[in-house]
Amino acid sequence: MDTLSRKDAGWKLLEHTADIRMEVWGATIEELFAHAADGLTSLLSTGPKQPAERVLDVGIEGGDPEQLLVNFLREILFLFQVNGFVVTGSEITFPDQTRLQAKLHGRYARSDEPQPEEEIKGVTYHDLSIRRNDGYSVRIVFDV
């Protein structure tokens, strides 16, 4: 896959031999998670961005920030694969270090929408480590 840059969006795709690898960054941990959701959604829904029609409230648990991120992205993937729900934006809060609450703004995909070239099958822990420097960054590998 060619490198696709979305620096203005807080994420970019990186070269990977078999799967899809993405680098994500944000000024805050909440922004990092929101940008990761946006990046994943861009891979799931290739049509033009459309306005949200619904808001879903989700609660996610995990033992550390990395597990929270993987579980959060897996929930977004599940909602898309099972219900056709396309996330168009998210509001994220952390009640504590092992839980997050999110309002997922989105819509249900239409059957005539273009399909992505590659189907995302899962979110992996491969080389996943949230780094903190002048903000937050992480590299995520999606299984295709």
pLDDT digits (tens, 9 = 90+) for 35-71: 999 999 999 987 777 888 999 999 999 999 999 999 9
pLDDT of 8: 63
Q: What mean pLDDT is predicted for residues 119-128?
A: 93
pLDDT of 117 = 78
CATH topology of domain 5-143: Archease, Possible Chaperone; Chain: A; domain 1 (3.55.10)
CA atoms lying within 13 Å on the CB side of residue 10: 20
Domain ranges of the chain: 5-143
Percent of the chain whose pLDDT exceeds 70: 93
pTM: 0.89
φ, ψ of residue 95 in degrees (nearest 5):
-60, -30
3-state DSSP of 91-109? EEEEEECCEEEEEEEEEEC
- Residues in CB range of 66: below 8 A, 6 or more apart: 125, 128, 129, 130, 138
Q: How do residues 129-139 score in pLDDT, each as one tens digit?
A: 999 989 999 99
